[in-house]
Amino acid sequence: MSDDPVRRQGPPEERRRQRFISKSSAVSLKYLRRVEELPHMPEALTPFLHILGHVFVEQGGAVKPEHIPTVGTYCVMVPPELIYAAGAMPVKLCGGSYTAFNIGDDVAPRDACPLVKAVMGFETVGAAPVYRECAMIAVPVTCDCKKKLAGYLGERRPTVALHVPSGRDRDEDMERFVEELYAFGAKLTELTGAPLSYERLSWACGLTAAAQYELSRFITLRRKAPLVIKGTHYMAAMNAMSYTHISLWTRHMRALCDELEQRIRNGEMASKENRPRILVTGSPIVFPNFKLPLLIEEMGGALVADETCMGERGAYDPPAIVDQSTDGILRALANRSTRPCTCPTFVDNKRRLYRIRQMIEDYRVEGVIYHVLRGCLVYDYEYRAMEEELGKLGVPIIRVESDYNEEDVEQLRIRIEAFVELIKYGKR
């Protein structure tokens, strides 16, 4: 071993990596504790928090059977069924880390969104096994940030850029996306050696259908008033899905639904008071960037619903398979992944307004918080239309812009508190 104290500590990159690991673990632990400390946490939420703790605090890999390789994805528009059918497991890698964001901030242009900066930060520093262990990465080319991310990752890792159509109502658009899925399927087969047969694809559709069944139970339970589970707890369970093999996540979700149903039978609700019922929509909210849901609940709001792609949008209904063949399943997956999607990266997005109106009714929403990650233009563009629509319905809405740091927490706190008070005042 070297006598030189500097050399003994390892090269500067290694020291930087170690600093990164300890800082990012500490931040994740802090947010995990805050989620745990919220009152009325169901016991069955514990496995979901263990998964987040394992990945972000202990810096472990994805939670899965050992022999299965992982494929990193960056969007709900990459069908997980294809990856499971090829004998791999998808891991959703959209980054929520403040520590990785700070590193990515030096790599990406100033106005890039923090989510993409965080991904670039993880890649640059070479930490976080959940990122490092991915045998392949699939980046959907949706917004400009994702496009450049595909290029950045493509220079460093085996990466597939998945071209998602910007419209989805014309047959030609759908045909092009089906071709993309075929090409992606071929890359997956190269990786695992497993051809995408009809049998494998239907088996994988069965896996996701079981998860969707439990999720639909959960959504029904969430619509209860008063609330049976806090919104932040719900978001933690949904975030954990990104890093867990789907059969395991389904099992945990089943146990959570069973516990919540028992709570209802016992008359134990998570929020007995008449708290303003709030829906969150907008840019993705990825753990550990949980400052917004935590603030809503700490400031006296009831976070009853979230229309983000880390929430309900991530688990639509199972694909509607008309033609029982490999091609039929691929077409059904292409349809399911894009047609109902309310992501603003599509040219026409009336679906989102419709979806929000429907959620306001289903969840008896009294106010909407519109979350814009700084630099996320696609969501920002749609704010005006949303504001107009909600104005017609008489539902208050605020736009909150945030970044991946804690400097804006006090400002967000003041605005959210005022919004919650405004709803309360309107109810008097």
Residues forming the site for ligand SF4 (CB under 6 A): 75-77, 94, 113, 115-116, 142-143, 145-146, 283-284, 309, 343, 345, 373, 376, 378-379
Nearest C-alpha neighbor of 95 from the set 79, 72, 111: 72
DSSP state of 158: -
Q: Which is nearer to ligand SF4, 77 or 390 (CB)?
A: 77
CB-neighbour burial class of residue 402 (10 A; exposed 0-12, middle 13-18, buried 19+): buried
Q: Which is nearer to ligand SF4, 147 or 254 (CB)?
A: 147
Q: Which is nearer to ligand SF4, 332 or 373 (CB)?
A: 373
Start-end of H helices in 55-194: 80-85, 98-104, 114-125, 129-132, 144-154, 171-192
As measured in angstroms, the least distance from the Cβ of 112 to ligand SF4 is 8
Nearest C-alpha neighbor of 219 from the set 255, 266, 275, 260: 260
Structure tokens at 104: 């990515």
Q: Which helix (H) or strand (E) holds 244?
A: none
Question: What are φ and ψ of residue 187, in 5° steps?
Answer: -65, -40
Residue 336 neighbours by CB under 8 Å, 6+ apart: 79, 316, 317, 318, 319, 320
Residue 138 near residue 73 (C-beta atoms within 8 A):
yes
Q: Which is nearer to ligand SF4, 143 or 296 (CB)?
A: 143
Give the number of other CB atoms < 10 A from CB of residue 415.
17
Q: Which is nearer to ligand SF4, 321 or 373 (CB)?
A: 373
Alpha carbons within 13 angstroms on the beta-carbon side of residue 320 total: 5
As measured in angstroms, the least distance from the Cβ of 403 to ligand SF4 is 12
As measured in angstroms, the least distance from the Cβ of 166 to ligand SF4 is 11
DSSP labels for 335-371?
A: HHHHTT---TTSS--HHHHHHHHHHHHHTT--EEEEE
Report the SS3 class of residue 269: coil
As measured in angstroms, the least distance from the Cβ of 298 to ligand SF4 is 24
As measured in angstroms, the least distance from the Cβ of 386 to ligand SF4 is 15
Distance of alpha carbon 421 from alpha carbon 48, whole angstroms: 32
Q: Which is nearer to ligand SF4, 297 or 382 (CB)?
A: 382
As measured in angstroms, the least distance from the Cβ of 121 to ligand SF4 is 14
Q: Which is nearer to ligand SF4, 212 or 271 (CB)?
A: 212
Q: Which is nearer to ligand SF4, 57 or 280 (CB)?
A: 280
As measured in angstroms, the least distance from the Cβ of 342 to ligand SF4 is 8
As measured in angstroms, the least distance from the Cβ of 381 to ligand SF4 is 11
Give the number of other CB atoms < 10 A from CB of residue 262.
12
Q: Which is nearer to ligand SF4, 76 or 400 (CB)?
A: 76
As measured in angstroms, the least distance from the Cβ of 46 to ligand SF4 is 28
